[in-house]
Amino acid sequence: MNPATGESPLPLSALNDFLFCPRRAGLKFIEGLRGENEHTVIGDLAHEHVDFQHTSALGNAPAHKVLDLVKVTGRKDAAGKFPSGSEFPGGLHDYTGSAPDGPLYTLTNNHGVVSGCSETKPAAKDGNNPLPTITARRLIWEIPAVT
Protein backbone atom coordinates (compact mmCIF):
# COMPACT_ATOMS: atom_id res chain seq x y z
CA MET A 1 0.00 0.00 0.00
CA ASN A 2 1.20 3.50 -0.83
CA PRO A 3 1.33 5.34 2.54
CA ALA A 4 0.91 8.75 0.88
CA THR A 5 -2.30 7.92 -1.02
CA GLY A 6 -3.58 4.83 0.81
CA GLU A 7 -3.92 3.00 -2.51
CA SER A 8 -2.88 -0.60 -3.01
CA PRO A 9 -0.86 -1.54 -6.10
CA LEU A 10 -2.78 -3.26 -8.87
CA PRO A 11 -1.85 -6.95 -9.19
CA LEU A 12 -0.51 -7.96 -12.60
CA SER A 13 -3.24 -10.57 -12.84
CA ALA A 14 -5.81 -7.73 -12.84
CA LEU A 15 -4.17 -6.17 -15.89
CA ASN A 16 -4.04 -9.55 -17.61
CA ASP A 17 -7.74 -10.15 -16.84
CA PHE A 18 -8.66 -6.64 -18.03
CA LEU A 19 -6.82 -7.12 -21.34
CA PHE A 20 -8.61 -10.44 -21.84
CA CYS A 21 -12.09 -9.14 -20.90
CA PRO A 22 -12.77 -5.81 -19.14
CA ARG A 23 -16.20 -6.97 -17.92
CA ARG A 24 -14.79 -10.13 -16.37
CA ALA A 25 -12.01 -8.12 -14.70
CA GLY A 26 -14.60 -5.76 -13.23
CA LEU A 27 -16.69 -8.65 -11.89
CA LYS A 28 -13.62 -10.26 -10.37
CA PHE A 29 -11.75 -7.28 -8.88
CA ILE A 30 -14.53 -4.76 -8.21
CA GLU A 31 -17.53 -6.97 -7.45
CA GLY A 32 -15.49 -9.81 -5.93
CA LEU A 33 -17.12 -12.46 -8.14
CA ARG A 34 -14.95 -15.22 -9.51
CA GLY A 35 -16.14 -18.35 -11.26
CA GLU A 36 -14.73 -21.69 -10.24
CA ASN A 37 -13.52 -24.22 -12.75
CA GLU A 38 -10.97 -27.03 -12.75
CA HIS A 39 -8.06 -24.61 -13.14
CA THR A 40 -9.10 -22.15 -10.42
CA VAL A 41 -9.79 -25.02 -8.00
CA ILE A 42 -6.34 -26.51 -8.64
CA GLY A 43 -4.75 -23.10 -8.07
CA ASP A 44 -6.76 -22.52 -4.89
CA LEU A 45 -5.85 -25.93 -3.48
CA ALA A 46 -2.20 -25.50 -4.41
CA HIS A 47 -2.01 -22.11 -2.69
CA GLU A 48 -3.92 -23.41 0.31
CA HIS A 49 -1.94 -26.63 0.78
CA VAL A 50 1.55 -26.16 -0.70
CA ASP A 51 4.30 -23.56 -0.57
CA PHE A 52 6.72 -23.92 -3.50
CA GLN A 53 10.11 -22.44 -2.55
CA HIS A 54 12.48 -21.85 -5.49
CA THR A 55 16.27 -21.57 -5.24
CA SER A 56 16.11 -18.59 -7.61
CA ALA A 57 14.22 -15.38 -6.80
CA LEU A 58 12.74 -15.48 -10.31
CA GLY A 59 11.62 -19.10 -9.96
CA ASN A 60 13.05 -22.19 -11.57
CA ALA A 61 10.09 -23.42 -13.56
CA PRO A 62 6.90 -22.10 -15.14
CA ALA A 63 4.02 -22.27 -12.64
CA HIS A 64 1.95 -24.60 -14.81
CA LYS A 65 4.80 -27.15 -14.83
CA VAL A 66 5.03 -27.10 -11.03
CA LEU A 67 1.24 -27.21 -10.61
CA ASP A 68 1.10 -30.33 -12.82
CA LEU A 69 2.28 -32.17 -9.67
CA VAL A 70 -0.85 -31.11 -7.79
CA LYS A 71 -3.59 -33.67 -8.49
CA VAL A 72 -7.22 -32.64 -8.06
CA THR A 73 -10.35 -34.61 -8.90
CA GLY A 74 -14.05 -34.21 -8.29
CA ARG A 75 -15.60 -36.39 -5.55
CA LYS A 76 -18.67 -37.94 -7.21
CA ASP A 77 -20.54 -40.86 -5.71
CA ALA A 78 -21.90 -43.88 -7.60
CA ALA A 79 -25.02 -41.90 -8.56
CA GLY A 80 -22.86 -39.19 -10.14
CA LYS A 81 -23.53 -36.61 -7.41
CA PHE A 82 -21.02 -34.43 -5.59
CA PRO A 83 -21.04 -34.26 -1.74
CA SER A 84 -23.04 -31.04 -2.08
CA GLY A 85 -25.82 -33.16 -3.65
CA SER A 86 -25.54 -31.60 -7.09
CA GLU A 87 -24.49 -33.02 -10.45
CA PHE A 88 -22.09 -30.07 -10.68
CA PRO A 89 -19.36 -29.05 -8.22
CA GLY A 90 -20.50 -26.43 -5.74
CA GLY A 91 -17.12 -25.44 -4.34
CA LEU A 92 -13.78 -26.65 -3.01
CA HIS A 93 -15.50 -29.18 -0.72
CA ASP A 94 -16.52 -31.16 -3.82
CA TYR A 95 -12.90 -31.84 -4.76
CA THR A 96 -10.08 -33.93 -3.35
CA GLY A 97 -6.40 -33.98 -4.19
CA SER A 98 -2.77 -34.55 -3.38
CA ALA A 99 0.35 -32.41 -3.54
CA PRO A 100 4.10 -33.00 -3.41
CA ASP A 101 6.13 -32.61 -0.25
CA GLY A 102 9.91 -32.31 -0.47
CA PRO A 103 12.50 -31.73 -3.18
CA LEU A 104 11.38 -31.19 -6.78
CA TYR A 105 13.57 -31.42 -9.85
CA THR A 106 13.15 -29.54 -13.09
CA LEU A 107 13.30 -31.55 -16.28
CA THR A 108 14.84 -29.75 -19.25
CA ASN A 109 14.98 -30.46 -22.96
CA ASN A 110 18.17 -30.36 -25.08
CA HIS A 111 17.95 -26.55 -25.22
CA GLY A 112 17.80 -26.11 -21.43
CA VAL A 113 14.10 -25.15 -21.45
CA VAL A 114 12.08 -26.52 -18.52
CA SER A 115 9.77 -29.20 -19.89
CA GLY A 116 8.39 -30.44 -16.57
CA CYS A 117 8.91 -31.03 -12.88
CA SER A 118 9.27 -34.28 -10.99
CA GLU A 119 9.57 -35.60 -7.45
CA THR A 120 11.91 -38.28 -8.79
CA LYS A 121 15.61 -37.41 -8.93
CA PRO A 122 16.84 -37.66 -12.53
CA ALA A 123 19.90 -39.74 -13.37
CA ALA A 124 23.32 -38.13 -13.18
CA LYS A 125 24.26 -36.28 -16.35
CA ASP A 126 27.89 -35.81 -17.41
CA GLY A 127 28.97 -37.07 -13.97
CA ASN A 128 26.99 -34.38 -12.14
CA ASN A 129 24.20 -35.25 -9.73
CA PRO A 130 21.16 -32.98 -10.18
CA LEU A 131 20.23 -30.76 -7.25
CA PRO A 132 16.62 -29.99 -6.39
CA THR A 133 15.71 -26.53 -7.64
CA ILE A 134 12.35 -26.30 -5.89
CA THR A 135 11.20 -27.44 -2.46
CA ALA A 136 7.52 -28.18 -1.97
CA ARG A 137 6.35 -27.79 1.60
CA ARG A 138 2.85 -28.89 2.50
CA LEU A 139 1.14 -26.31 4.65
CA ILE A 140 -1.70 -28.62 5.67
CA TRP A 141 -0.66 -32.22 6.23
CA GLU A 142 -4.02 -33.88 5.83
CA ILE A 143 -4.83 -33.42 2.17
CA PRO A 144 -7.58 -35.93 1.31
CA ALA A 145 -6.21 -38.61 -1.00
CA VAL A 146 -7.46 -38.84 -4.58
CA THR A 147 -9.97 -41.69 -4.76
User: For 70-114, how does the pLDDT look when each residue is reduced to its tens digit (9 = 90+)?
Assistant: 777 777 888 888 887 888 777 667 777 777 878 888 888 888 788
Degrees to nearest 5, angle at CA 14 with 13 and 16 = 60
pLDDT-based confidence at 143, cuts 50/70/90? very low
In a domain, 5, yes or no: no
Is 146 part of a structural domain of the chain?
Answer: no
Q: Angle at which helices 12-20 and 22-29 pack, to 10 degrees?
A: 140
Alpha-carbon dihedral of residues 34, 45, 106, 55, nearest 10 degrees? Answer: 90
Residue type, 92: L
pTM above the 0.85 mark? no
Q: Report the pLDDT value the prediction gives residue 141, as an integer from 0 to 100.
A: 43
Give the total number of structural domains in the chain. 1
Residue 77 lies in a domain: yes
